[in-house]
Amino acid sequence: MNALSRLSASAIVILAMSACSGMSERDKGTATGAAIGGVAGAVLSGGSTAGTIGGAAVGGVIGNQVKKDKN
């Protein structure tokens, strides 16, 4: 996957997530973290599927915990 394809995929994910106005802040954090983590994993692993999936999983967990309620 070349850089232009990655950038296009990232833009599509970001635009799709911006339409999720009914989501809770925690859900938005999880989705955003997964998207950013997936892109970072793809870039750092040279585009491997395992790197992309691993990055998305780690990013989703981090995004979920960052937006966790403080109660």
Mean pLDDT per segment of 10 residues, for the chain of length 71 residues?
72 70 82 88 86 89 81 53
What is the reported pLDDT for 58?
92
Residue 8 lies in a domain: yes
What is the reported pLDDT for 71?
53
Residue 54 lies in a domain: yes
Residue 31 lies in a domain: yes
Range of the domain at 15: 3-66
Residue 71 lies in a domain: no
What is the reported pLDDT for 61?
92
Task: Say how many domains are in the chain.
Answer: 1
Contact 41, 33 (CB under 8 A): no
